């Protein structure tokens, strides 16, 4: 492994009371922390997190930029029972997995768009090493989770990986281990730039055993709840009162006054 890659490792983790609070947040017993850090535990934690911690950008449309400092992640996603975008949910997952004994680190990724690959570090993915083997892990790609062993090179030691989901969404990792702080600038960009997909509309999504629940709202449009499961796709529009209840019931998010999309892009074009 290249020395400069190895030097990008960091060891910050959530432990003790914060780790137990995280496990309660995702519906797991504290005793699970006493088990081995194996693939079974990894899959259990990822599945529990994507079912409990929404992938959402509500604060961006409330004018609150994303903060990915570890203390801020624990406060927002665990203490206040909110969700976040990729840097937040995957950042929290990394800290928790380390606390559970996993060798977990972050790599950057470029997301494939209609115009080609997006900016470097536009997404963040985990590399988790189990029994010497690297696994790619992602709980922050809009409800499409990834727990997959890397069998063609090492994504934490210089190998770029192309990841494609059944939906057609895709990205390419950069093969460089990075601390969470490397993503601060792109987290701010996604919070404020008209070029970011997160400033163009609202999304809130969880994936449970019975399907994916997604709340969305485009600028000038109505909120819509979409449920995608084994029996197909069902969508319905919501009025403002419905939104408050759906956020609470389906996503565990308590907001008395859900935001309307800010449409930063439209403002920038004026």
Q: What is the pLDDT of residues 109-123, one digit of tens each?
A: 999 998 899 999 999
Q: Quick check: helix, strand or coil at residue 133? A: strand
Could you give the CA distance from residue 12 to residue 49 in angstroms, rounded to a whole number?
19
Q: Quick check: helix, strand or coil at residue 144? A: coil
Of 59, 19, 38, 26, the closest CA to residue 206 belongs to 26
Which pLDDT tens digits describe the chain residue by residue (270 residues)? 333 344 466 889 999 999 999 999 999 999 999 999 999 999 999 999 999 999 999 999 999 999 999 999 999 999 999 999 999 999 999 999 999 999 999 999 999 998 899 999 999 999 999 999 999 999 999 878 999 999 999 999 999 999 999 888 999 999 999 999 999 999 999 999 999 999 999 999 999 999 999 999 999 899 999 999 888 999 999 998 899 999 999 999 999 898 999 766 554 443
152 is catalytic: no
Tokens linked to 115? 């115009």
Q: What is the pLDDT of residues 214-269, one digit of tens each?
A: 999 999 899 999 999 888 999 999 998 899 999 999 999 999 898 999 766 554 44
Q: Give Cα separations from 249 to 59, 158, 232 (angstroms).
A: 19, 43, 21
Do residues 60 and 194 lie in contact, with contact meaning Cβ atoms separated by under 8 Å?
Answer: no
Q: How many CB atoms neighbour CB 47 within 10 A?
A: 18
Residue 197 neighbours by CB under 8 Å, 6+ apart: none
Half-sphere exposure of 125 (CA within 13 A, CB side): 33
Residue-level length of the chain: 270
For tokens 């439209």, what's the residue?
Answer: 266
190 is catalytic: no
Q: Of residues 59, 61, 67, 123, which has the active-site annotation?
A: 123
Tokens linked to 163? 């990841």
Q: Of residues 18, 59, 67, 138, which has the active-site annotation?
A: 138
Could you give the CA distance from residue 132 to residue 151 in angstroms, rounded to a whole number?
12
Could you give the CA distance from residue 170 to residue 220 in angstroms, rounded to a whole number?
28
138 is catalytic: yes
Q: What is the pLDDT of residue 268?
A: 45
Tokens linked to 224? 């819509």
Q: What is the pLDDT of residue 270?
A: 38
Half-sphere exposure of 15 (CA within 13 A, CB side): 7
In 150-201, at which residue ranges do the beta strands (DSSP E only) sit?
162-164, 170-178
Q: What is the pLDDT of residue 1?
A: 36
Q: Of residues 86, 105, 174, 217, which has the active-site annotation?
A: 86
Tokens linked to 25? 């947040």
The DSSP letter of residue 90 is H
């Amino acid at each position: 492994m290249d020395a400069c890659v190895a030097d990008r490792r960091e060891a910050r983790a959530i432990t003790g009371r914060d780790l137990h609070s995280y496990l309660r947040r995702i519906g797991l017993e504290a005793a699970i922390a006493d088990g081995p850090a194996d693939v079974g535990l990894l899959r259990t934690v990822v599945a529990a997190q994507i079912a409990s911690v929404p992938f959402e950008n509500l604060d961006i449309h409330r004018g609150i930029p994303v903060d990915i400092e570890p203390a801020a992640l624990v406060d927002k996603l665990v203490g206040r029972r909110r969700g976040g975008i990729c840097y937040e949910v995957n950042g929290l997952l990394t800290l928790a997995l380390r606390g559970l004994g996993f060798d977990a680190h972050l790599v950057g990724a470029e997301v494939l768009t209609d115009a080609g690959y997006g900016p470097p570090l536009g997404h963040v993915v985990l590399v988790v090493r189990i029994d010497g083997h690297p696994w790619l892990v992602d709980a922050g790609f809009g409800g499409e989770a990834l727990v997959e062993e890397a069998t063609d090179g090492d994504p934490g030691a210089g190998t770029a990986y192309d990841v494609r989901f059944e939906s057609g969404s895709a990205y390419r990792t950069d093969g460089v281990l990075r601390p969470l702080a490397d993503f601060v600038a792109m987290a701010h960009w996604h919070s404020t730039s008209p070029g970011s997909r997160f400033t163009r509309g609202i999304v809130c999504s969880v994936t449970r055993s019975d399907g994916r629940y997604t709340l969305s709202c485009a600028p000038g449009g109505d909120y819509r709840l979409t449920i995608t499961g084994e029996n197909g796709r069902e969508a319905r529009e919501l009025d403002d009162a419905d939104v408050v209840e759906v956020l609470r019931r389906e996503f565990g998010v308590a907001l008395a006054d859900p935001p309307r999309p800010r449409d930063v892009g439209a403002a920038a074009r004026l």
